[in-house]
């Protein structure tokens, strides 16, 4: 194999930083990731997000199976002190609000592709 060591052609690119952890799901707010841990209790991966606003105590956590990173569960904790600086989608925005109303003002669970229960 002559070990050519392709210098320029970065074909194999280690740029494959994708698929590791779910990207920041913009749901209408800005979040800052501050931790990630594997929960043994449910055998799931958990990502911890905090609202960009220091005044806001709203937190968000992403939970997904290491075997199925496609299905992500979003758990919102706390409430915001400021309106959404990021209009997401009239349709989804209403849906989100409706869901929150159905569950709690600070404790909702969203399913990724298809919501289970």
85 binding DNA? (CB under 7 A): no
User: What is the spatial distance between Cα 104 and Cα 26, in angstroms, rounded to a whole number?
Assistant: 21
34 binding DNA? (CB under 7 A): yes
Q: Tell which one of 49, 50, 58, 74 touches Zn ion (CB under 5 A).
A: 58
Q: Tell which one of 2, 14, 19, 40 touches DNA (CB under 7 A).
A: 40
CB count in 10 Å sphere of residue 84: 13
Q: Which of 39, 84, 90, 83 is nearest to 61 (CA)?
A: 39
Nearer Cβ to DNA (30/92): 30
Q: How many residues bind DNA (CB under 7 A)?
A: 21
Q: Which of 8, 2, 28 is nearest to 87 (CA)?
A: 28
Q: Tell which one of 25, 27, 28, 46 touches DNA (CB under 7 A).
A: 46
Nearer Cβ to DNA (36/88): 36
79 near 58, Cβ under 8 Å? yes
DSSP state at residue 117: -
Pick one of Zn ion, DNA, none as the site partner of residue 80 (Cβ within 5 to 8 A by kind). Zn ion
């Amino acid at each position: 194999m002559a070990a050519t060591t392709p210098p320029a052609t970065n074909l194999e690119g280690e740029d494959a930083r994708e698929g590791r952890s779910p990207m920041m799901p913009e749901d209408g707010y800005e979040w800052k990731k501050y931790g990630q841990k594997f929960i043994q209790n449910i055998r799931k991966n958990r990502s911890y997000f905090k609202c960009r606003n220091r005044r806001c105590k709203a937190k968000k956590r992403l939970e997904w199976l290491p075997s199925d990173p496609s299905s992500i569960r979003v758990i919102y904790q706390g409430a915001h002190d400021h309106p959404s600086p990021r209009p997401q989608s009239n349709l989804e925005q209403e849906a989100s609000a409706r869901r929150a109303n159905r569950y709690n003002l600070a404790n909702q669970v969203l399913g990724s592709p298809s919501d289970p229960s």
